Structure 1
Amino acid sequence: MLNFSDHPHTRLNILTGEKVLVSPHRSKRPWQGQVEDLVLEQRPAYDPECYLCPGNKRADGTVNPDYTDSFVFVNDFSALLQDTPNEQYNDSDLLQAESERGICKVIAFSPRHDLTLPEMDQEAIEAVVDLWQQEFADLAKNEWIKYIQIFENKGAIMGCSNPHPHGQIWAQGNVPVEVQKEDAQQKNYFVKHGKSLLSAYLDLELRKQERIIVDNAHFVALVPFWAAWPYETLIVSKRHVSNIAEFTAEEKADLAKTLQELTIRYDNIFSTSFPYSAGMHQASVNNGDQSHWHWHMHFYPPLLRSATVKKFMVGYEMMANPQRDITPEFAADLLKKQSTIHYKTRQDG
C-alpha cells in the first residue's frame, strides 16, 4: 500500500500531463543551507519616487491620474508590441522563429504604496476583479488576440521590480505553451466524459476534504494533489465557466473574498509578505469552441522553511522533472491552520 507520508512517489498533474516527484522522507533532514536575517520592510503610503503612485510621472513622461481604487495603463516597457509585423524565419528546419504581436498592461491594485493584496479590504479587491473582467472583455474585442494572461508577481524574489501592489495583463496573438498543455488535457477529458476536468476534480477534492483551504459559495482554494511548489495552491470556480468575463457580481465578490483569505493565510505562515507568482488560466479568445475550458488561478510561492529559505527548481528538477519534499497534504494542513486575520493587524491590536 502506497504511503504518501513515507514513500517516494510521483503524482500526475492532470492539467498538464506531467509528473512531480514527492520525497516526503527528505523533509526530516536538517537544513544546513543559507539562512538570512529577516528585514521588516516599512513602506510609506505614498512614495514620490514610485512610478505607480497617484500623480507621479512614469518613465515615458506620462503623469498618473489621482486614482482612488485601481488603475490600468499600457506598460511603458512592454514585452509585446501591438505594431509588430507578421514575420517568420526558418533555416533548414533547425533555426526557427516567428514574430509575436501583443498588448501588455499594468494594473495598480491600490493607490496605497504600502499595501499588498492581503492587506486590502474586500471592496478594494473587488474593484481589481472588476477591472480584470473589464480589461479581458475589451482586449478580446481585438480579433487578432488569441490569449489573455492575467497575472501578478509579488516580491523581489519573483522578479517584481516595484513593491507598489500591482499585476499585469499580457494579450497576444498566439496561445502560450503552458496554456496549450492545459487545453489538450481539458479537451481530452471533456470529450471522453462530457464534463469539465476541473468540475470532476473539484467534486473529488470536496468529498475527500484533504487539501481544501477555502470553500465558499462560488470558489474553492486548495493545494492541488500534484503541487510542485511547497505551498502551491489552485483557486477553481465551482461553476463551469471558461473565462472571467462570465462571472456574475456574486461570483466576483466571492473571488475577492477568496483572494483575500488565501493571501492572508500565506502571509501568516512565516509572518512575512509572502512572495508568489499567481495567474489565471482560462479559455483562449477568438479561437472557436472553448466549452471544455474551466477557469482557475494558480499560485506558485517559493518559500519553504521560513521567510528567508526559498525553494528553487534546480538540479534534478531542471534536468528531469519537478520534485518536492513536504507533501501537498502537509502544506494544505499548515495553510488551513493559519488565521484569516493578517498578522500585522494582530500585532497592531
Structure 2
Amino acid sequence: MSTQVRRNTLADGRDILFFQDEDSTAAPPAEDHRPAEPRPTGGQLRFDLLTGEWVAVATHRQSRTHLPAAAECPLCPSAPGRPTEIPVADYDVVVFENRFPSLGPSLGAVPADPRQKFAEAASESALTAPAHGRCEVVVFSSEHDGSFADLDPARARTVIDAWANRSRELAAQEGIEQVFVFENRGEEIGVTMNHPHGQIYAYPFVTPHTVITSARAEQHKRETGRPLLGDVLDFERGSGERMVLESAYFSAFVPFAARWPVEVHIVPHRQVLGLDELDDAERDDLAGIYPEVLRRIDNLYSTPTPYIAAWHQAPVNCADRSAEWMHLEITSPRRAESKLKFLAGSEAAMGAFVGDVSAEETAARLRAASPALEDGRR
C-alpha cells in the first residue's frame, strides 16, 4: 500500500501535508486564503547544570487555543465564513506545523553539554541556545468527535503511514537528534483541543529519558550480544501473565515494573529502529492491534480514559543501532473510576515511582475487557 501525500503551504508559510486513504474521496488541497499573520518568534533553550538537561522556554504558547467548542475548532475542516487551520471541506489525515510550537521554526544544532563554555565564562548566554526543532500536529479525522480507538483499520493505517513519513523526513532535517511521535488524550492529561489528533516533536537534542534507556540498551548489548528489548519481549511472552494481546507481528503487555495504574507496551516482534522501518504487513497489523488495545483501556471504566501514547524511536545518531528497538508505551494516571494518580513527593521530586496496582492485575483486567464499546459510550 502506498498512501498518497499532497503538500501545500498555509497563509503564514507553515507546511501542511494531506495523507489520503487508499479509497479516498477527499478533495485535493486548497489554498489558505486567511490573512497572513506573523509566526511567533522562536523560543529559547536553557541548560540545567544540575541535571545536564535542556529546558525549552516558549512563552508564546500561553496564548494558544484552549478547549474550543466544536463550532470554533481549528482542526475541523474549513467552511464558508469559517476558515480553520485546514483549508478544505473534507480530509482524511492532515499534518501541519504547529502554530504555537515549543521548538522551531528555526533549525540548527545545539551543544550537547555547554558546561565547558560556562566554566570559561559564567554567564546566561553560555547556558542558552535557540529553541531549534520542529513541532507538528497530526489530525486523525475530519470528524470533531471520536478518538484513535474509533478509527477503522484503513484510517489507522493512513495515520501510521503519516507518522512514518514524518519520522523519516524530520530525522533528515538539520540539527534534529530525535523524533517523538505521541498522542495526549483527555483534559486530565492537559489536552487543549478535543478533536482527535496527535503531535510530533523533532528535538535538537536526545531527550533525558532516551539518554538513560539508550545507555542501558547499549550496555546490555555489549554484555550479552543481544538487544535489551528483545530479551524483555521474550521474558513477557514466555511468562504470559502480563500479556494483553498478541498478533502476528506485535505483542501488547503490561510491563513487569509498570509505573502507572494503566500501562501497556506494544512491541514489534522484529527489531526496527523507527516507524518508517515497518513494512506493509507490519503496518496493517499495527492498525488492528493498536486501536484494539485502546478500546480495551476505555472499557475499564464507564467513561473514556485519559492517556499518553508515546512512540519510542531510536535517536537519529544513536551510538549502537543494533541495541535499539522501537516500541509504543501507553500510560494513564487513572487508578479508579473517579481517581487519578498524581505525581507527588517521591515521583515528582525523586523520580521514584510507587505503583498503585500490580502489573498482573491490570493485565488481567485488560484481557477481560471487551474490545467493542457500547453505543453512546464516547
Q: Shorter-chain TM-score: which interval?
A: 0.7 to 0.9
CA contact (8 A) 1:49 1:56 kept: no
Q: Shift of residue 315 of structure 1?
A: 2.5
2:348 counterpart letter in structure 1: M
Q: Say yes or no: does 1:76 pair with 2:107.
A: no
- Residues 34-77 of structure 1, C-alpha deviations (whole Å, 9 max, x = no match): xxxxxxxxxxxx933110011169x9975433343211000000
- Residues 176-235 of structure 1, C-alpha deviations (whole Å, 9 max, x = no match): 101111111111111211211111111111111000011001111110001111011111
Of 76-85 and 102-111, the range deviating more from structure 2 = 76-85
Q: Shift of residue 344 of structure 1?
A: 3.0
- Partner of 1:120 in structure 2? 151
1:107 pairs, out of 138, 148, 159, with 138
Distance in 2 of aligned mates of 1:191 and 1:56: 58
> Residues 208 and 65 (structure 1 numbering): CA distance in 2 closer, same or farther, change over 3 Å?
same
Distance in 2 of aligned mates of 1:246 and 1:157: 33
Distance in 1 of aligned mates of 2:274 and 2:152: 24
* Cα RMSD (Å): 2.5
Q: Say yes or no: does 1:316 pair with 2:346.
A: yes
- What TM-score do the two structures reach when normalised by structure 1? 0.80
Percent identity of equivalent pairs: 31
Q: Shift of residue 305 of structure 1?
A: 1.1
Distance in 2 of aligned mates of 1:181 and 1:56: 47
Q: Say yes or no: does 1:90 pair with 2:118.
A: yes
Distance in 1 of aligned mates of 2:345 and 2:205: 31
- Partner of 1:157 in structure 2? 188
Of 71-80 and 255-264, the range deviating more from structure 2 = 255-264
Distance in 2 of aligned mates of 1:121 and 1:62: 24
> Residues 225 and 77 (structure 1 numbering): CA distance in 2 closer, same or farther, change over 3 Å?
same
- Partner of 1:304 in structure 2? 335
Distance in 1 of aligned mates of 2:324 and 2:216: 10
> Within 5 A, what are the aligned runs for 1:337-348?
337-344=368-375
List structure 1 runs of 4+ shifted beyond 4 angstroms: 59-63, 84-89, 91-95, 286-289
Distance in 1 of aligned mates of 2:84 and 2:374: 38
> Within 5 A, what are the aligned runs for 1:113-152?
113-152=144-183
- The count of aligned residue pairs is 301
| Partner-residue secondary structure (3-state), 1:90 | helix
Distance in 2 of aligned mates of 1:90 and 1:322: 33
- Residues 76-126 of structure 1, C-alpha deviations (whole Å, 9 max, x = no match): 000001326767673766963443310000000111111101112111111
CA contact (8 A) 1:213 1:223 kept: yes
1:152 counterpart letter in structure 2: E
Q: Shift of residue 246 of structure 1?
A: 0.7
- Partner of 2:211 in structure 1? 180
- Partner of 2:263 in structure 1? 232
- What TM-score do the two structures reach when normalised by structure 2? 0.74
CA contact (8 A) 1:186 1:292 kept: yes
Q: Say yes or no: does 1:53 pair with 2:76.
A: yes
Distance in 1 of aligned mates of 2:240 and 2:86: 49
| Partner-residue secondary structure (3-state), 2:92 | coil
Distance in 2 of aligned mates of 1:331 and 1:121: 26
- Partner of 2:364 in structure 1? 333
CA contact (8 A) 1:214 1:220 kept: yes
> Residues 171 and 84 (structure 1 numbering): CA distance in 2 closer, same or farther, change over 3 Å?
closer
CA contact (8 A) 2:311 2:326 kept: yes
Q: Say yes or no: does 1:295 pair with 2:323.
A: no
- Residues 114-142 of structure 1, C-alpha deviations (whole Å, 9 max, x = no match): 11011121111111101000111111221
Distance in 1 of aligned mates of 2:205 and 2:79: 34
2:278 pairs, out of 222, 242, 247, with 247
- Partner of 1:36 in structure 2? none
Listed as ranges, the gaps of 5+ residues in structure 1 are 1-45
| Partner-residue secondary structure (3-state), 1:291 | helix
- Residues 270-326 of structure 1, C-alpha deviations (whole Å, 9 max, x = no match): 0221110111111111455422100111111011111x2111111232234110121
- Residues 5-43 of structure 1, C-alpha deviations (whole Å, 9 max, x = no match): xxxxxxxxxxxxxxxxxxxxxxxxxxxxxxxxxxxxxxx
> Residues 71 and 212 (structure 1 numbering): CA distance in 2 closer, same or farther, change over 3 Å?
same
| Partner-residue secondary structure (3-state), 1:323 | coil
